[in-house]
Homo-oligomer: A and B are copies of this chain.
């Protein structure tokens, strides 16, 4: 086996390019394949502006069967190209991730974790028809069931998480602002650019310095940029010349980090927000229970969704508290009280209790 060319972007069809790569030559694959979104018509926000949808030709497939065939092809080539101790990451959404995961298992990959990327700033569901789609899923899998020697930098991950084991749910913002590549008109250069922070965590967790990372859907080269920063090598495959060019220019500007830089990259944690509805869902309060103001003169009834009712007024603890006092605003957590053996206690006590039971959670 000759030396493989690294730190390069290969222009061309991903499967064709994969076939030319030698077997057992890369340490990690990171793949961000088309999601096969199957969008309908236009989507308008409440302010009537249009959502810039992903309608690119590369994301359109005739059927699930076509998508599955495509997935099977690129993935089995990746499996061949991986070293025996290598591993693969694939990112996707509910549109494609289940097919991706099933195929990967069927091919013999051995799933190590599924990871949830919680977006701190997702796009809302404008029409109020579903839950806000606020996460994507990554699958981390070893080449085969027997591969016990995959790389996992346990201590680096623990360190990055304030000395707690890194969990399978990660919180990062979307790629926006400075980091988001723009064309000459200031329009986003690629519709699905991933945040570098996400890639850095993937790479720090599952590769060693000097490892070779293959990205078969390179796009604008986030994987390459993060790899270079962290002292790893990359091979990017990309079909669209404009993306490949952008990626090369982008990566050229990246300055590799020093050891010292890396140490300061720990993630910050913050107190999790507890909605009042969750207090009710948890059973700490029950629908039908009564809440009182501190003097006990005023009362309201709790409903199953966390709303309060007084007469024909209904709304959140804050809104109803404000209405009843004819005040512009009200902190419902301190205004409303519940009955205990020792008299009235503010519901904020319940929130603190809930917080402490969730103390382990990085927000």
Contacts and interface: CB of A to CB of B under 8 A. Distances in A.
B173 A124 contact: no
A105 B67 CA distance: 12
B358 A171 contact: yes
A357 B275 CA distance: 34
Contact of A98 (B48, B100, B161): B100
Contacts of A257: 286-288, 304
Contacts of A112: 130
A60 B145 contact: yes
A116 B119 CA distance: 12
Contact of A282 (B197, B273, B303, B312): B197
Interface string A102-119: 101110100111111010
A239 to B, nearest CB: 26
A133 B196 CA distance: 23
A241 interface: no
A344 B275 CA distance: 34
Contact of A306 (B113, B159, B263, B303): B159
A132 B162 contact: no
A64 interface: yes
Interface stretch (A6-14, A20-28, A150-158): A150-158
Contacts of A159: 277, 305-307, 315-316
A112 B160 CA distance: 34
A283 B196 contact: yes
Q: Which size class do A's interface residues fall under?
A: 35 or more
A92 to B, nearest CB: 10
A129 B149 CA distance: 10
Contacts of A306: 159-160, 162
A165 B106 contact: no
A257 to B, nearest CB: 5
A99 interface: yes
Interface string A71-115: 000000000000000000000011101111110111010011111
A161 B48 contact: no
A89 to B, nearest CB: 12
A242 interface: no
A31 interface: no
6 contacts: A48-B330, A94-B114, A98-B100, A124-B165, A162-B275, A204-B304
